[in-house]
């Protein structure tokens, strides 16, 4: 009977210890943000192992019933670890199907493969933010040096890139970012639908002919600046204000904050 109460006491002490030991670890894991947060967990595990190792030198812990109790606890811990592994696997699996997490091969290189494993909305924010930040004409069009044909390419590529990555977002959980991205797609689509076909047909024609007829005077395209060539487009005075309007929309502070654009790649 004495051994029974002793085992019961040891069991109670063990449960209390595990509660106070695992509770702060759970809180740390729940709020884990940086590598530094691993330090308290590692120190706690080291201290626990040290106490267990030192206790082996005490005569009391060499008693048969204590050894039996320790083996029982060991088996329970093994079962707990197995259950935790299964729960973690199911959590990640559900995260993939629920678009909470995404596994993506970023790029290949000589050293190996860079793999992104992050929340899906984080990957969307990083990839789209980095992509559009490199497209200067989305935010700032220069009438003197920018080729409108190439600007249209940049707008269309941006439209496709955002649209193709939109599947990473959940329309309900990421409602604000999702709607903002849809608005960008809509603005780009409206602009391209209005101007792309007409301008490209005109530009392809003058490139092939290498001339523009203006008041019975032939302007040689290849020997004229892009600024002067584009000014002869028959809808130029309509096209430029629409580009400026799109630039103003893209400069909205909501877009910079949503995609975490602190600076642009094209800025000096």
Say which residue, 132 or 24, is predicted with more confidence. Answer: 132
Over residues 183-203, the pLDDT tens digits come to 999 999 999 999 999 999 999
pLDDT category, 113, cuts 50, 70, 90?
A: very low
104-118 mean pLDDT: 47
Average pLDDT score, the chain: 77
DSSP 143: T
Q: Provide Rg for the chain, Cα atoms.
A: 32
The whole-model pTM stands at 0.60
Over residues 243-260, the pLDDT tens digits come to 999 999 999 999 999 999
Say which residue, 120 or 102, is predicted with more confidence. Answer: 120
Spatial contact of 219 and 211, defined as CB atoms under 8 Å apart = yes
Greatest Cα pair distance, the chain, in angstroms, is 117
Cα separations (Å) of 71 from 63, 109, 114, 115? 12, 49, 43, 41
Over residues 10-25, the pLDDT tens digits come to 555 555 555 555 555 5
Cα separations (Å) of 61 from 3, 12, 74, 260? 13, 16, 15, 57
Q: How far is CA 188 from the centre of its chain?
A: 22
pLDDT category, 106, cuts 50, 70, 90?
A: very low
């Amino acid at each position: 009977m004495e051994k029974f109460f002793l085992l019961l006491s040891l069991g109670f002490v063990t449960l209390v210890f595990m509660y106070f030991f695992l509770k702060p670890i759970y809180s740390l894991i729940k709020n884990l943000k940086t590598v530094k947060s691993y330090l308290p967990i590692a120190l706690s595990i080291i201290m626990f192992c040290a106490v267990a190792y030192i206790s082996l030198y005490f005569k009391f812990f060499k008693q048969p019933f204590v050894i039996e109790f320790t083996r029982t606890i060991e088996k329970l811990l093994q079962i707990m670890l197995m259950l935790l592994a299964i729960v973690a696997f199911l959590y990640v699996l559900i995260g993939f199907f629920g678009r909470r997490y995404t596994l993506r091969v970023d790029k290949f290189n000589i050293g190996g493969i860079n793999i992104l494993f992050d929340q899906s909305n984080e990957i969307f924010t990083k990839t789209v933010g980095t992509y559009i930040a490199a497209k200067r004409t989305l935010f700032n069009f220069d009438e003197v040096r920018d080729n409108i044909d190439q600007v249209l390419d940049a707008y269309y590529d941006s439209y496709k890139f955002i649209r193709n990555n939109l599947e990473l977002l959940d329309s309900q959980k990421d409602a604000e970012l999702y709607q903002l991205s849809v608005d960008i797609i809509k603005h780009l689509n409206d602009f391209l639908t209005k101007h792309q076909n007409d301008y490209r047909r005109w530009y392809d024609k003058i490139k092939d002919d290498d001339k523009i007829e203006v008041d019975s005077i032939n302007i040689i395209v290849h020997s004229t600046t892009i600024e002067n060539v584009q000014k002869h487009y028959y809808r130029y005075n309509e096209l430029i204000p629409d580009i400026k309007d799109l630039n103003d929309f893209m400069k909205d502070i909501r877009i910079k904050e949503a995609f975490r654009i602190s600076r642009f790649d094209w800025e000096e």
